[in-house]
Chain A
Amino acid sequence: MSACGRLLRSAARSCRALAAFTSSRRPLRTSPSGRAFAKELFLGRIEKEAVFPFPEVSQDEFDEISQFVGPVEKFFSEEVDSRRIDLEGKIPNETLEKLKSLGLFGMQVPEEYGGLGLSNTMYARMGEIIGLDASIAVTLAAHQAIGLKGIILVGSEEQKAKYLPRLASGEHVAAFCLTEPASGSDAASIQTRATLSDDKKHFILNGSKVWITNGGLANIFTVFAKTKVDEADGSSKDKITAFIVERDFGGVTNGKPEDKLGIRGSNTCEVHFDNTQVPVENVLGEVGGGFKVAVNILNSGRFSMGSTVAGMLKKIIEMTAEYACTRKQFNKPLSEFGLIQEKFALMAQKAYVMESMAYLTAGMLDQPGFPDCSMEAAVVKVFSSEAAWQCVSEALQILGGSGYMRDYPYERMLRDSRILLIFEGTNEILRMYVALTGLQHAGRLLTARVKELKHGNVATIMETISRRLWDTLGRNVDMGLTGKLGAVHPSMADSAVKLEENVYYFGRTVETLLIRFGKTIVEEQMVLKRVANILINLYAMTAVLSRASRSIRSGLCNHDHEVLLANTFCTEAYYQNLLALSQLDKYSPENVDEQIKKLSRQILEKRAYICAHPLDRTS
């Protein structure tokens, strides 16, 4: 099998030589990268060039992907025993060896360092298959999406040459050590410390990290620790620095694997560093620049969750459809009951949307010029993790009592999918990220306008009022998605109009929110959540419209089904957005934020459920 993997890699290499691509990130299109799409939505604009047409891969690349996909798919469907992995809480060694021989430990490592050098799109495609077993997916993701990503992103040539080849082959496993008992997302409370030794050749590392995926398997750790950094003005300050730490440096120990709800096959444990000597060459990036390294790694690792989950969902749809069409009740198969049909439509729709978003984002990332798509990636992560949880739950429901039994894989999938909402930044945190990043962008551009409004500039006020009046009178929003030579196919013109309308009023609402709250909007988390929800919907609508338009225009099979899915989703999302927009309105009856805040305040004051018991009496 290892020969097979090497064969594959050499085949890929020859392909690439043919295509005369030299860089590891191959451009998919030659058009100049537009401005970031999601950020512009906050201004009420659709950056058409970024998302239309849907990114395509060239024929060469498509062939190359198919070459990779075949054997991996075969391996996962025939040899990986997910049930056993879950029961034993461990991925068997032979499975791991085979994964290594298939090259799956170095998918995004550039070829010159012995990796497969896959583009983001191809990586997403591979994720679809790897997602069939959650434990393996998480192990691989912890290894390459975050564990060794730091070396690829900011490592020096020497570091890359030293570490990447062995990491890519899977000889060494990587882990990412950021979380501490007292520090989840708060970098200021990191307690692990690195002090420079007297001879200035080593850093002495001390501290503990918790919940480190691969912590027990890894040989190479990306560790974040506080170091004293001398400022320009002579004072010294504690700043975070990233280090590459080998287990062989000494003083690295790990606790026993944690007993988890799901992804039980992945290895999660505490890692302790006790006077570990790290050579100064192993500083990742700059001393004191660890914060940016951490943020970059975290932001870059998210987009692939969309396709990973989509792969799992497609499989689950197959399995449940089989059941629904064969199981009979009242002389009718389950598939003829409306409430069961509804579940399949939901699952297909979610899978379609997240797939579209994932590949759209991957395509954007593969554009030349390294566009910043971290916001889109966060959107994909939030949407796909929530959809996964919902769809797996619905699938389990289709099977009724059987779904609850351990004989079927659904309960394991349900347990496994729960972690998606939590790791790589909880969905709550990512919503804040999406909303605040977008608002920051909009705020910078709107500052001048808002200032004039606040100072009572008559012309600006009049303009704003007249625009509002015009809006209320039922304005026709046209951003050029439809019509002759429009980006969206006419069969989805209605949906495109809905998207345009949503985007326009979203821009207005963002402006209003910025005027109302200014920089204190950071504290209005419930408002931010709604803003993020709308943005997620808008990006999803764009992605499905773009993808379905491409399918219908190039005549892919079952494109009518895609159009139906796209139209259904857009209609649902449109009304969700309308509701959310009206909830963002200060005086609307739908806005119950104040009540919610008060409720929770009363509960948290007493730290208990404070209602009297229904059977309580006053006398």
Chain B
Amino acid sequence: MSWVRAIPQIRGWRGIVGAAFSGAASSQVPRQPLRHIHLGAAAPGPAPTPSSSSSSSLVPRPPVPHEELFGPGSEAGPQDKARFVQAVRAFGQRNAHRRGHVDFIYLALRKMRDFGLERDRAAYHLLLDVFPKDVFRARSFLQRLFVHYPRQQECGVAVLEQMENHGVMPNRETEFLLLQVFGKHSHPMRKLLRMRLWFSRFRAANPFPLPRPLPRDPLRLAGLGLRRLEPDLSARITVYQTPAPPDSTDSTLSPEPDRPHIVGIQSPEQQEALGRHDPARPVFVEGPFPLWLRDQCVHYHVLRADPLPPEYRVAEETPEERNLYYPMQLDLEYGRGPWDDYEFDIDEVAEGPVFAMCIAGARDQATLARWVQGLQETNPTLAGIPVLFRLASSTREPLDSSSELAEQPPPSPPPPEGREEQEDNRRQQQGQG
């Protein structure tokens, strides 16, 4: 990157608070899926795949030095923190002057995901520690005015940017390292301050928090999804069918096709409404509808009916002899004045009632029929009601792609069972810490 390009760009950073934050800066590591910070907003759409992001990056890629430090690719050998640490140490030992550390840091940032360290604050500190100390600190007014060591500062910002994208909150140690490396009036420092300001404010902004990491168990994942769909806290989650016994080595792989999991939810009110449903009118199983839980997509089905045509509706009236203590209705002819009507004018579309929802491992009619069968145990009236399956076949495409997504990272074969659990545990500990 040339000076000519860098300086106006950095001016821009100075002027606009959110510029660096919003990712206007171009010299950063490959854009990882930004979705991570959105804590699983239910926005549908194809998830970004790692391959698509490389084109937008301005980071110089080939030739990549130091690649060998991280081992012979991701195909062989365990990829864990120890190896990553080892690689970073090896770089420090290899040349005492830390020549080429910027390139190395960019490379390490790209590699972090392979090592499963993208949410590990200590790993980022390790990278920041690679910078030589005191060298890039601005010492004079002019140095502070212009960007002192722009390439290094950009690199520092890139580290923070990746932390940001993965929702890693910088702490005092981060600040200390940045102070040592770049000094107080540097761009990485500013970036850190902004992160500290906004991260703390956005951290609890999501009204539907999800555990981090998301559970791998499809039953638990389905439970999370159903809880989000059903606002009633009295609703009960029922597992109608558990997947086949885990004879396969990996439970994350889709279970055997003849015995997919079925998890359903129903609130007492829905149960009551289904009990009152006129058996002459059919109910429908509709779906699948996608639901995004952070970067995972699950599909749900609903059991619902059409809205009652107006001629069948019975206005529910409070009987006069209802309340033993006070009148429930006033015998007045007029209602609320227009100034005290706090309701918004909303055109409400009458929708049919939803009686239950489920998330199943398979989307075929046989599986859903088993769900309806299971529902009959708690809803005896359902046995007498005709059930129609209205399953959208066109949604098959996105479904398949999403099941691929669920098994990210795609290129590497899933690690053996034991290792994975270990990793899970470690992540959980970090999440708690």
A interface, CB within 8 angstroms of B: 178, 185-188, 239-240, 291-292, 294-295, 298, 425, 429-430, 432-433, 436-437, 439-440, 443-444, 447, 450-451, 454, 514-522, 586, 605-607, 612, 618-619
B337 touches A517 (CB 8 A): yes
Contact status of A619 and B330, CB under 8 A, knowing A178-B324, A186-B323, A291-B321: no
B136: CB under 8 A from chain A? no
B331: CB under 8 A from chain A? yes
Residues of A within 8 A of B319 (CB): 188
CB distance from B154 to the nearest CB of A (A): 25
Tally of contact residues, B, Cβ under 8 A? 30
B323 touches A185 (CB 8 A): yes
Residues of A within 8 A of B196 (CB): 619
Query: A432 to B327, alpha carbons, bound, how many Å?
Result: 8
Q: From B324, B326, B329, B330, name the one whose CB has the most chain A CB atoms within 10 angstroms.
A: B324
B334 touches A454 (CB 8 A): yes
**Binary contact readout B189-208 vs A (1 if CB under 8 angstroms, 0 otherwise):** 00000001001110110000
Q: List 15 A-B contacts (CB under 8 A).
A: A186-B323, A292-B321, A429-B325, A437-B327, A440-B330, A443-B330, A444-B332, A447-B334, A516-B339, A519-B334, A522-B329, A606-B233, A618-B169, A618-B200, A619-B171
CB distance from B218 to the nearest CB of A (A): 27
Residues of A within 8 A of B332 (CB): 440, 443-444, 447, 514, 518-519
**Binary contact readout B201-223 vs A (1 if CB under 8 angstroms, 0 otherwise):** 10110000000000000000000
B336 touches A185 (CB 8 A): no
B335: CB under 8 A from chain A? yes
Query: A605 to B201, alpha carbons, bound, how many Å?
Result: 23
B interface, CB within 8 angstroms of A: 169, 171, 196, 199-201, 203-204, 231, 233, 319, 321-337, 339-340
Query: A450 to B332, alpha carbons, bound, how many Å?
Result: 10
Query: A437 to B326, alpha carbons, bound, how many Å?
Result: 8
* A interface majority secondary structure: helix
Residues of A within 8 A of B330 (CB): 436, 439-440, 443, 519, 521-522
A188 touches B322 (CB 8 A): yes
CB distance from B191 to the nearest CB of A (A): 16
Tell me the total A-B contact number using a CB cutoff of 8 A. 99
Contact status of A429 and B326, CB under 8 A, knowing A239-B321, A516-B336, A519-B334: yes
Contact status of A518 and B334, CB under 8 A, knowing A433-B326, A618-B203: yes
Interface contacts beyond A444-B332, A516-B340: sample of 12 additional A-B pairs, CB < 8 Å, sorted by A = A292-B321, A432-B326, A436-B330, A437-B327, A440-B331, A515-B337, A518-B332, A519-B333, A519-B334, A586-B340, A605-B231, A612-B204
Residues of B within 8 A of A451 (CB): 333-334
A187 touches B340 (CB 8 A): no
Residues of A within 8 A of B233 (CB): 606-607
Query: A446 to B204, alpha carbons, bound, how many Å?
Result: 52
Query: A269 to B327, alpha carbons, bound, how many Å?
Result: 29
Query: A430 to B323, alpha carbons, bound, how many Å?
Result: 12
CB distance from A596 to the nearest CB of B (A): 14
Query: A349 to B324, alpha carbons, bound, how many Å?
Result: 33
CB distance from B77 to the nearest CB of A (A): 35
Query: A619 to B171, alpha carbons, bound, how many Å?
Result: 7
Query: A185 to B322, alpha carbons, bound, how many Å?
Result: 8
B337 touches A295 (CB 8 A): no
Residues of B within 8 A of A240 (CB): 321
CB distance from A591 to the nearest CB of B (A): 13
A516 touches B337 (CB 8 A): yes
Query: A292 to B320, alpha carbons, bound, how many Å?
Result: 11
**Minimal Cβ-Cβ distance residue in B for A443:** B332
**Selected contact of B331 from candidates A433, A444, A520, CB within 8 Å:** A444
CB distance from B317 to the nearest CB of A (A): 12
B335 touches A519 (CB 8 A): yes
A436 touches B327 (CB 8 A): yes
CB distance from A135 to the nearest CB of B (A): 25
**Minimal Cβ-Cβ distance residue in A for B171:** A619
Residues of A within 8 A of B333 (CB): 447, 451, 519
Residues of A within 8 A of B335 (CB): 518-520
**Minimal Cβ-Cβ distance residue in A for B234:** A607
Contact status of A187 and B324, CB under 8 A, knowing A450-B334, A514-B332: yes
Query: A444 to B332, alpha carbons, bound, how many Å?
Result: 7
CB distance from B192 to the nearest CB of A (A): 12
CB distance from B123 to the nearest CB of A (A): 18
A519 touches B321 (CB 8 A): no
Residues of B within 8 A of A432 (CB): 325-326
CB distance from B121 to the nearest CB of A (A): 11
Residues of A within 8 A of B324 (CB): 178, 185-187, 291, 294-295, 298
CB distance from A588 to the nearest CB of B (A): 15
**Minimal Cβ-Cβ distance residue in A for B320:** A291
**Minimal Cβ-Cβ distance residue in B for A240:** B321
Residues of A within 8 A of B201 (CB): 618
**Minimal Cβ-Cβ distance residue in B for A224:** B324
Query: A187 to B200, alpha carbons, bound, how many Å?
Result: 52
CB distance from A371 to the nearest CB of B (A): 19
B336 touches A520 (CB 8 A): yes
A619 touches B329 (CB 8 A): no
**Minimal Cβ-Cβ distance residue in A for B335:** A518
CB distance from A443 to the nearest CB of B (A): 5
Query: A447 to B199, alpha carbons, bound, how many Å?
Result: 58
B326 touches A436 (CB 8 A): yes
Residues of A within 8 A of B169 (CB): 618-619
Residues of A within 8 A of B340 (CB): 516-517, 586
Residues of B within 8 A of A294 (CB): 324
Residues of B within 8 A of A440 (CB): 327, 330-332
**Selected contact of B329 from candidates A185, A450, A519, CB within 8 Å:** A519
CB distance from B175 to the nearest CB of A (A): 11
CB distance from A421 to the nearest CB of B (A): 14
Contact status of A618 and B329, CB under 8 A, knowing A178-B324, A516-B340, A520-B335: no
